Structure formats: structure tokens, C-alpha cells
Amino acid sequence: MKPREVELIPRKARRTVALLLVTIAAVLLAAVTGPTSTSALPTYANASGQACGVCHINLADGGPRTATGQAFEAIPTHFTGPAGTWAQASSPTLAILLPTEGQVVTSTVTVSVQVTNFTLAPGAIGGVNVPDQGHWHILLDGVFLQPVGTDSFTLTGLTVGSHTIKAELHNNDHSAVSPAVEATVNITVAAEAPTLTIVTPTAGQVVTSTVTVRVLVTNFTLAPGAIGGANVAGQGHWHILLDGVFLQPVGTDSFTLTGLTVGPHAIKAELHNNDHSAVSPAVEATVNVTVAAEAPTLTIVTPTAGQVVTSTVTVRVLVTNFTLAPGAIGGANVAGQGHWHILLDGVFLQPVGTDSFTLTGLTVGPHAIKAELHNNDHSAVSPAVEATVSITVATVDTQAYLPQLFKNAGP
């Protein structure tokens, strides 16, 4: 038979003993560590010279602490030396939040700071001192940059490599806060990869036969004078290709393509070093465009509107986006090809396949000369493309008559 166990402490008494031990431990802990987060002692107020409400949210029984109270409690000497601790807790502080120590950044970085027990006053920079008011100075690699009245400042154009950013707290008149309040972080600026973007034309754009390609290049210097020369890190030019065919190197941010045929085309830009080797890894951009068929134009160049002429006058025209084909007059139509018809005072004279036609035997007085663009089969281009000038044929052919007149007037 199993022997009967004897209870040294009755079961009912065990709970009471446990509660007693917990209470004793709590008392001993309070004696060693000082008041807990829920206690409020007049001793602190008397020693620090601050009202209870400065550190406690609830003035009646202490309880949770304010931000100031939390800062006070975080200092190890707050229980043994409240007065000195309060002076420490209420002093201005300055911390650099971003960037962090050792952070790798780009050439542009925003410095963010946190200031306590001190008011940043951007409008008072350079003004009369006010206690616990001012701004901070930012320094880069020991060189003062400028005063800052807000909690952030952006540095740009940082060179590749290591840099030290320092922030110093200053009074309104730029004198340093005493004792000095400052913070420093060390960062590294990494070399940024170059980029290349075709700004114009845009993807899918409908363009004419002449289009200017503009690019945007970052973190890389275009050096037109160094094309074909020795390589220099971060320097070079770009190559332009049309439909996969290399055209030429370009050392500026733009290049104009001319004579593009109607239809789709691919424009590509590639970043290259001075010696024409491609940047590695490749940096390139491509846009697809469509060259639209441009409307033909017809202009009468001579004679000009209102001109006084003789009975013989040569009509010259300027035709664009249309090919004059004298050998195809009356033949089968070909898109963008044909001739022009010349009319005098509304009367058709004949088709013309070149850029000029001479009228003779014009009668004295006003006349209207009209030119019309036509297809090979004489049908008019649609929509109509035409031009008209009004001229006047003089009574006397002065060009022919005056020399003869002076000759006859001889001695």
C-alpha cells in the first residue's frame, strides 16, 4: 500500500503565503528602484522646482507621465538627484534623424533633425535673442552652409564618396547655444547610374518628315569636343539610330532628322563613352513614331501679287510634298505625283510638269494667273491645292522701249 503524503502547509494556506511573498517582493523592489510609473511624490516637485503637472498627466494621483516626465524618468539619476536630473532633462537637445549613421545615399539627401526644449524660429534668424529660441546651422565636411529654421534641409549635388553632416544649435543672433548642442552623421554618396530619356518626340507621336529628337541625360556629361577621344569616367555622347541603322554620334541634347519617309519608324538613342564604346550596363531609349503624309502645297513665286509686268512674263511656282513628273502627264496616277495646270483669267492654258511657264502676248491691263495642282491623269488633287496672283500688263513695254528711246535721242 502506498504511504499517505503529509501536507506541511495546508492547501488553503498556500495561496495566502504566495500573496504575502509577492507583496514583500514588491515592497523591496520599490525601495531599491524608487517610485513606479504610477507614483507621484512631492519630493520630486520640491527638489526639481517643477509642479507635478509638468511630469504627470493626472495631478490628483500621478499616474502616466507626460513627454517631459518620461524624459525625466529615463535619466538614471532621477531618483537620487532630481534637481540635477531636471536640469539635464530640460536642456535643449538636437538629434539628426535622417540620414542615419553610415547610410549610403544619392547626390541629393534631406537632413531631418529633432529638437527638444528649444523653439525653431525661422522668422527670427539674425534677430534679437529670445531664451530657448533660435535655429540650427548645417555644415558639410566642416564647411558651414547656412542657417536653417525648420526641421529639415535638403543637400544637393553631393559628390561621390564619404561626407560628414553636422548640425549645431544656435541662438537667433547666430551665437552658438552654450553649452554646445550639436549632432553629426557620416554618410557615403554612391555613384549614381546614368540615365537617358528621349523627351521628344513622344512614343506613338505622328510627326512630319522633319523631326527634332531631344534627350535628357542625367549623371553623365555630354562632351561634344571629346567625341572619339580618350575615355573620361561619366563623360561621352549618344548615338542615334533610325530603324536600327546607326546615323551618327551626338554631343548635344538634340538632333534633327530630315527626309523621313511616310510610315512608322523607330528612333533609338544609346549612351556611349568618348571612344564610342557603349556605356556598361547599356543605357538606351527608343520611341516609335509615324511620319504622316504631308499635304502638298503650291505657291506662285513670281510674278508677285499686284506686280506690273510686260506682255511676256514667266510664272514660277514652288511645290512641296508633291513630285512634279512631266513624263507622267496623262499617265496612271501615282500617290504624291503629278503636274500643275496654268489658267489665265479663268481660262485653262495647258498642263505644266516643271516649276515654270512663260506667258507671252499678254494684252494691256489686269490679268489673273492661277495655278492648280493635278494628278497624272489630270484629276485635281483633293482637297484642291491652288494659288492665284493678279498682275497688270503695262501700256508700254518700258524694258524694251526705253533703251531704244535713248538711242534715238542721240546727237
- The residue ranges of every structural domain in the chain are 11-89, 93-189, 195-291, 297-398
| Among the ranges given (85-99, 121-135, 248-262, 341-355), the one the predictor scored with the smallest mean pLDDT | 85-99
pLDDT band with cut points at 50, 70 and 90 for residue 68 = low
- pTM score, whole prediction: 0.48
Q: With contact defined as beta carbons under 8 Å apart, do 46 and 83 qualify? A: no
- In which element (H, E) is residue 89 found? helix 82-89
Whether 93-189 shares its CATH topology with 297-398 is answered yes
- In which element (H, E) is residue 115 found? strand 109-116
Percent of the chain at pLDDT > 90 equals 69
Q: How far is CA 32 from the centre of its chain?
A: 62
pLDDT band with cut points at 50, 70 and 90 for residue 206 = very high
Question: Once rounded to an integer, what is the mean pLDDT over residues 366-385?
Answer: 97
Please give the backbone phi and psi of residue 253, each rounded to the nearest 5 degrees, phi first.
Answer: -95, 10
SS3 45: helix
How do 133-140 and 284-291 pair as beta strands? unpaired
- State the cell numbers at 278: 557603349
Question: Once rounded to an integer, what is the mean pLDDT over residues 176-190?
Answer: 95
- Report how far apart the first and last C-alpha atoms of the chain are (Å, whole number): 175
d(CA 57, CA 40): 11
d(CA 50, CA 361): 116
pLDDT given at position 84: 58
- State the cell numbers at 191: 555613384
How do 313-320 and 297-302 pair as beta strands? antiparallel
Would the pLDDT of 63 be above 70?
Answer: no
Domain range 195-291, its CATH number among 3.30.1330.60, 3.40.1050.10, 2.60.40.10, 1.10.10.350? 2.60.40.10
| Among the ranges given (15-19, 153-157, 245-249, 370-374), the one the predictor scored with the smallest mean pLDDT | 15-19
Burial of residue 387, with CB atoms counted within 10 A of its CB: 0-12 exposed, 13-18 middle, 19 or more buried: middle
d(CA 86, CA 93): 14
The string of pLDDT tens digits covering residues 214-226 is: 999 999 999 999 9
Q: How far is CA 362 from the centre of its chain?
A: 65
Percent of the chain at pLDDT > 70 equals 74
CATH class of 93-189: mainly beta
pLDDT band with cut points at 50, 70 and 90 for residue 31 = very low
Q: With contact defined as beta carbons under 8 Å apart, do 342 and 355 qualify? A: no
Residue 361 is which amino acid?
G
d(CA 279, CA 196): 11
The string of pLDDT tens digits covering residues 91-139 is: 899 999 999 999 999 899 999 999 999 999 999 999 999 999 999 999 9
Q: Could you tell me the fold of the domain covering 297-398?
A: Immunoglobulin-like (2.60.40)
Residue 74 is which amino acid?
A
Question: Quick one: which of 319, 270, 318, 261 has its CA closest to 290?
Answer: 261
Q: With contact defined as beta carbons under 8 Å apart, do 298 and 340 qualify? A: yes
pLDDT given at position 30: 43
The string of pLDDT tens digits covering residues 42-54 is: 666 666 566 666 5
